[in-house]
Amino acid sequence: MKQTIFTIQENKQLTETTWRMKLKGDTSEIISAGQFVNIKLDGYFLRRPISVCDVEGDILTIIYKILGRGTEEMTHFHIGKELDILTGLGNGYDLSLSGDRPVLIGGGVGIPPLYLAAKRLIAEGRNVKAVLGYNTVDEIYYEEEFREIGCEVIIATADGSVGVKGFVTDALQTIAGEDCGYTYFYTCGPEPMLKAVYNATKTSGQLSFEERMGCGFGACMGCSCKTVTGYKRICKEGPVLRKEEVIW
């Protein structure tokens, strides 16, 4: 973990409610895809945890959705503004277990951390599919970005306005091939989706969880959950849990 000042390089609206921010600063503690950062906003007591979407040199990319007052306020930040950010938080995905044909399954604002995972898996020569779920066609973002890095993308929309009608689990069933069509899964999204993915997947995999956080670096026990391998802090021993250790 490191506390660093980052400078905003870009703050761009992707959809009606989703924005991308690029930040310049010391990214040295960001090791794994699936890790997160914790951002201090003036006027709010707690930091805002946001997943690492990408990191290249000293540029950190995050994607955030307007949920409450803090994220709403972030949309007004200008280029050049400085933000106090804790980096290098959480365990992140263990990409070494992916096998040849991993599938990445993301819903809504669970999609961003899978982008860095995809980039790294592809760089390691894996054949990567991404199943991305949205409510409707207007909410789609980053489909192109996943394709550009060489990822096969399957879209699901709840209202069927594009791609498979239904949830990511419906789209997952369209993947065919040897066995179930994938060797391992990495997923991130709202908890009901994670549970559905847990039940629908036929291989092992890793799930990234969200929880309201006090600190984000292991000090407060605010984010604990029970797992097969004992109590874990989502912010420290998580946010990524292995399928085998999850207790619902």
Ligand X SMILES: Cc1cc2nc3c(=O)[nH]c(=O)nc-3n(C[C@H](O)[C@H](O)[C@H](O)COP(=O)(O)O)c2cc1C
Any contact of residue 79 with ligand X (CB under 6 A)?
no
Shorter beta-carbon distance to other proteins: residue 6 or 217: 217
Shorter beta-carbon distance to other proteins: residue 147 or 226: 226
When binding is defined by CB under 6 A, the residue of 23, 55, 63, 193 that contacts ligand FAD is 63
Kindly state the smallest distance separating residue 235's Cβ from ligand FAD, in Å.
Answer: 7
Any contact of residue 139 with ligand FAD (CB under 6 A)?
no
Cα 245 to chain center, whole Å?
20
Task: Please name the helix (run of DSSP H) or strand (run of DSSP E) that holds residue 198, with its range, or none.
Answer: helix 191-200
Nearest Cα to 172, choosing from 122, 99, 107, 237? Answer: 107
Residues 6+ apart with CB under 8 A from 166: 156, 158, 160
219 binds, among ligand X, ligand FAD, ligand FES, none (CB under 5 to 8 A by kind): ligand FES
**Would you say 172 and 181 are in contact if contact means Cβ atoms under 8 Å apart?**
no
166 binds, among ligand X, ligand FAD, other proteins, none (CB under 5 to 8 A by kind): none
Kindly state the smallest distance separating residue 222's Cβ from ligand FES, in Å.
Answer: 4
When binding is defined by CB under 6 A, the residue of 5, 79, 220, 228 that contacts ligand X is 220
Segment interacting with ligand FAD (CB under 6 A) among 6-14, 61-69, 160-168, 174-182: 61-69
Dihedral sign for Cα atoms in the order 217, 222, 223, 225: positive
By CB under 8 A, what part of segment 115-154 binds other proteins?
none
Helix, strand, coil percent values for the chain (each to nearest 5):
20, 35, 45
233 binds, among ligand X, ligand FAD, ligand FES, none (CB under 5 to 8 A by kind): ligand FES
Segment interacting with ligand X (CB under 6 A) among 21-29, 76-84, 121-129, 214-222: 214-222
Residue type, 126: R
**Would you say 117 and 96 are in contact if contact means Cβ atoms under 8 Å apart?**
no
Give the whole-angstrom CA distance, residue 114 versus residue 130. Answer: 8
When binding is defined by CB under 6 A, the residue of 4, 216, 237, 241 that contacts ligand FES is 216
Q: Quickly tell me which residue has 């984000």 as its tokens.
A: 216
Beta-bridge partners for 227: 230, 246
Provide the binding-site residues for other proteins, judged by CB under 8 A: 1, 3, 40, 44-47, 86, 211-215, 217-226, 231
